[in-house]
Amino acid sequence: MSFAQVFDAHVETVYRYVHRRCQDHSLAEDVTQDVFMAAIRNTDDPATITIGWLITVARNRLFDVLRRQTKYEEKLQLVANNASRSEEVDIAERLRVESALGVLPVHYRLVLTLHYMNGMTVRAIADELDQSLKSVEGIVTRARRELIAVLDEGEPQSVKGGES
């Protein structure tokens, strides 16, 4: 059995498993891709790859991604906190997040600000911007990914050749 055959046999099952847990198409695609890349990196014999192993890798990868997202969402909430609670807020971290937001493209800053600081739902943002819900969901996902890249490495992924 080749890697292509393993992929063809199991990609839909792995994708559905991930998507059912996160309800985010882009994230499910990314995690599914990571799972199959891990399979290629970790074995020379595709016949040894089982659906159980793929699902375990998918579960672990999704957990890591969601935990990381939660960490950065909490950092975004720091920016949204008002100054009267400054004793509770790590000012240096707040400034770092604000600086990272400033590096992002305007449309990314806009959706992150509306969503995390103004508390708007993605549907409300889509209505406000007169865009489809799926389009705004994608923008929020990419904007969050870019912000994480800037906070981690100081440079947006789009500058390094990722999507924008």
> pLDDT for 62-111, tens place per residue?
888 877 777 667 666 666 654 444 445 566 677 777 788 888 888 888 88
160 band by pLDDT with thresholds 50, 70 and 90: very low
- Which CATH architecture does the domain made up of 81-153 adopt? Orthogonal Bundle (1.10)
Percent of the chain whose pLDDT exceeds 90: 21
162 band by pLDDT with thresholds 50, 70 and 90: very low
For residue 112, is pLDDT > 90?
no
* Separation between Cα atoms, residue 103 and residue 158, nearest integer Å: 11
17 band by pLDDT with thresholds 50, 70 and 90: very high
The secondary structure of the chain as a DSSP string is: --HHHHHHHHHHHHHHHHHHHH--HHHHHHHHHHHHHHHHHH-S-GGG--HHHHHHHHHHHHHHHHHHHHHHHHHHHHHHS-GGGGGGS-HHHHHHHHHHHHHS-HHHHHHHIIIIIS---HHHHHHHHT--HHHHHHHHHHHHHHHHHHHHHSS-TTTTT---
Q: Supply the pLDDT for residue 11.
A: 94
Q: Among 63, 61, 65, 83, which Cα is nearest to 73's?
A: 65
Q: What tokens does 89 get? A: 């807020």
**Over the stretch 41-55, which tens digit does the pLDDT of each residue have?**
888 888 889 999 999
For residue 15, is pLDDT > 80?
yes
Q: Supply the pLDDT for residue 54.
A: 93
